[in-house]
Amino acid sequence: MARASAGGILRRPARRRGGPEQRAVARASSGGPTRRHRDEVFARDPLRSVHMSDTHFSEHFETLAIHAGNTADPLTGAVVPPIYQVSTYKQDGVGGLRGGYEYSRSANPTRTALEENLAALEGGRRGLAFASGLAAEDCLLRTLLAPGDHVVIPNDAYGGTFRLFAKVVSRWGVEWSVADSSDPDALRAAMTPKTKAVWVETPSNPLLGITDIAAAAQIAHDGGARLVVDNTFATPYLQQPLALGADVVVHSLTKYMGGHSDVVGGALITADQELGEELAYHQNAMGAVAGPFDSWLVLRGTKTLAVRMDRHSENAAKVVDMLSRHPKVTKVLYPGLAEHPGHEVAAKQMRAFGGMVSFQVAGGEEAAVAVCDRAKVFTLGESLGGVESLIEHPGRMTHASAAGSALEVPADLVRLSVGIENAEDLVEDLRQALG
């Protein structure tokens, strides 16, 4: 098998659409800062958003990650936004809201800071933070869909997403069908006159499939549907789906965005302000919002996202190099490999290939489970994207809900979330675990 080059750093994806004033995202939903307040602020200084005293003064990701939404506290000068651990806010007379805040389910300054940061990093018009990735997905589906509508989902998706469609959404009378999203013809064939959304993950979980986002967007839009991209594996540092034509980006903030395995959260970022306001209305009505401390933790995590993703990608490339030559490994799934069927597309739309690696082992399911059990530096556990390396058996763990379906994963599959430890330690640990 061809080796993945260390780091695999590619040229940057296409520049985000619009200038800084388009990425300065204001809260304009029920219960949040009003549209009038937002427009007044923009009139004074179009580079400022409602909750920022500093400007979005850079187009560079690393600078935006540290400064977007992160305003020095006006009272003390603290360089880190405070945790507004508060449920309600004093009003200056009935309807006299300070900065638009009245109740923290509707809006909270710490959550607003995170939402501005997320929107800036994804190049979107609106960012919304939720209690979990699945809470974000649930809000999106209930906003976009009605009974009788149809959704196309990928044949390789996170088990929780599949469960949401198969066990929950279907009970509302929403229809769904499965397609190989890496195949434009298969995606096009799955569309119906009732299709309102096309859902893709790229890279996918856990088989690391790659979907051409621009092509999928064209297919969805030709059919009158919206394209939703789960960007959890890539993060906005490696890939920006909105710039490639997607309508909505979904994140599990629990993973790389938080980055330290200490928070659960989710997010939606939209290319369209109107859709963002519809989602904000449903978020407020349904209530699955990110708490202030969780928002603060994720906001801390995004500041180091760029340097972490570079290290995750570099370490993953070295792990893949060893696995590709190991006699007990029958197949390595990683888009950085030249023989990966999605390699060319990934190289076109991603900055680097990321820290997620899956591989299949000789000896079947029991051998795969044994590898997971023997790992020492790699921690056996679900989730991914933390600074520590994780190993799991998807068939028995994260994707057990897909057993017996079109999304069932191979029994001999092992999934790695390659952390930022010393790469030699990670390689040697896998070598001993494989035996």
Q: pLDDT tens digits, residue range 247-294?
A: 999 999 999 999 999 999 999 999 999 999 999 999 999 999 999 999
Domain tally, the chain = 2
Active-site residue, selected from the candidate residues 212, 230, 247, 294 = 230
In the residue annotation, 230 being an active-site residue is answered as yes
- List, for residues 172-227, the tens digit of each pLDDT value: 999 999 999 999 999 999 999 999 999 999 999 999 999 999 999 999 999 999 99
Q: Are strands 356-361 and 329-333 parallel, antiparallel or unpaired?
A: antiparallel
In the residue annotation, 196 being an active-site residue is answered as no
In the residue annotation, 171 being an active-site residue is answered as no
pTM for this model (two decimals): 0.86
Give the number of other Cβ atoms within 10 Å of residue 94's Cβ: 5
Q: How distant, in Å, are the alpha carbons of 222, 295, 343 from that of 113?
A: 35, 8, 36
In the residue annotation, 105 being an active-site residue is answered as yes
The residue segments making up the domain with residue 352 are 306-434
Residues 256, 388 within the same domain: no
Last residue of a domain, one of 281, 303, 325: 303
Residues 268, 406 within the same domain: no
Residue 35 lies in a domain: yes
Residues 329, 282 within the same domain: no
Is residue 178 within 8 Å of 155, Cβ to Cβ?
yes
Residue 89 lies in a domain: yes
Q: How far apart are alpha carbons 223 and 388 in whole angstroms?
A: 42
* CATH number of the domain encompassing residue 99: 3.40.640.10
Active-site residue, selected from the candidate residues 3, 17, 35, 105 = 105
Q: How far apart are alpha carbons 40 and 50 in whole angstroms?
A: 9
Which phi and psi angles does 196 have, rounded to 5°?
-110, -15
**What is residue 212's predicted lDDT score, i.e. its pLDDT?**
98
Q: Burial-class residue 227 by CB neighbours within 10 Å (0-12, 13-18, 19+).
A: buried
Query: What one-letter code names the amino acid at 169?
Result: V
H-assigned helices in 164-199: 184-190
Active-site residue, selected from the candidate residues 255, 311, 318, 415 = 255
Active-site residue, selected from the candidate residues 84, 158, 256, 334 = 158
Residue 15 lies in a domain: no
Sheet holding 413-417, edge to edge: 329-333, 356-361, 413-417, 390-392, 379-380
C-beta contacts of 392-397 below 8 A and 24+ residues apart: 393/365, 393/368, 393/369, 394/159, 394/206, 394/358, 395/365, 395/368, 396/369
**What is residue 399's predicted lDDT score, i.e. its pLDDT?**
75
**What is residue 18's predicted lDDT score, i.e. its pLDDT?**
36
Residues 172, 244 within the same domain: yes
Mean pLDDT per 10-residue interval, the chain, length 435 residues: 36 34 29 35 32 57 94 90 95 90 96 97 97 98 97 92 92 95 97 98 96 98 98 98 98 98 98 97 97 98 98 98 98 98 98 98 96 98 96 87 79 97 98 97
Give the number of other Cβ atoms within 10 Å of residue 73's Cβ: 12
